[in-house]
């Protein structure tokens, strides 16, 4: 602080100490004002931080709620899909078993048909062999009859020739 006008400046050590103390007091007051301003700023920052913290906590609560809803929705979907999977699996197993049963039945029928075919082939081969044997026997009999007929015809022709020659010779 500048010396007051109207009073002559004294070089008194007490005045110098007072001036020194006043200056120190003035510096301390300025420091106090600065600290107070810093405290106000910090207080405002703390209030803003608290408000941001509250907003973040509110946002976290909202996100947790959304997460729980999504988790429930996902769980419901998974449960539904699992039920559908199990239902479809059961149906497919039933269809596979029915198909396997049908295949087994068809194989059985096929085996029976093959056996019947083999029996029929054997029977028909036996019938054909029998018919062939009869045909051959009939051919043999026809040939024998043809030979016998030929011989009889020759004999008859020879007798007729002799008889005709005998009549002509008697004339």
Phi first, then psi: what are they for 5, rounded to 5°? -85, 145
Query: CA-to-CA distance for 161 and 167, rounded, in angstroms?
Result: 10
- Name, in order, each residue with C-beta under 8 angstroms of 19's C-beta and a sequence gap of 6 or more: 1
> Where does the pLDDT of residue 171 fall: very low under 50, low under 70, confident under 90, or very high at 90 and above?
low
b/e 71-84 (16+ beta carbons within 10 angstroms → b): eeeeeeeeeeeeee
Domain contains 164 = no
All residues at 6 or more sequence positions from 3 whose CB lies less than 8 Å from its CB, including other chains: 9
Whether the per-residue pLDDT at 1 is higher than 60: the answer is: no
- The answer to whether residue 55 sits within a structural domain is yes
What is the domain count for the chain? 1
pLDDT value for 11: 67
Q: Over the stretch 135-166, which tens digit does the pLDDT of each residue have?
A: 999 999 999 999 999 999 899 989 888 888 88
Domain that includes residue 22, residue range = 14-134
Query: What do you get for the CA distance between the two ends of the chain, in Å?
Result: 208
Choice among 5-19, 27-41, 50-64, 69-83 with the minimum mean pLDDT: 5-19
Q: Is residue 96 part of a domain?
A: yes
pLDDT above 50 (res 90): yes
Res 163: pLDDT: 84
Kindly report the pTM of this predicted structure. Answer: 0.42
Q: What is the mean pLDDT of residues 100-117?
A: 95
In a domain, 147, yes or no: no
């Amino acid at each position: 602080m500048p010396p007051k006008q109207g009073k002559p400046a004294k070089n008194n050590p007490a005045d110098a100490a007072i001036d020194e103390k006043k200056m120190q007091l003035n510096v301390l007051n300025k420091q106090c004002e600065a600290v107070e301003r810093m405290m106000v700023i910090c207080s405002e920052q703390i209030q803003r931080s608290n408000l941001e913290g509250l907003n973040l906590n509110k946002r976290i609560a909202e996100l947790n709620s959304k997460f729980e809803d999504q988790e429930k929705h996902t769980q419901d979907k998974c449960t539904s899909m699992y039920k559908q999977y199990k239902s479809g699996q059961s149906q497919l197993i039933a269809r596979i078993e029915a198909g396997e049963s049908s295949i087994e039945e068809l194989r059985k029928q096929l085996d029976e048909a093959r056996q019947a075919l083999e029996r029929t082939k054997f029977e028909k081969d036996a019938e054909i062999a029998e018919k062939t044997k009869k045909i051959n026997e009939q051919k043999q009999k026809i040939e024998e009859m043809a030979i016998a007929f030929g011989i009889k015809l020759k004999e008859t022709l020879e007798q007729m020739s002799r008889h005709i020659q005998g009549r002509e010779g008697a004339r």
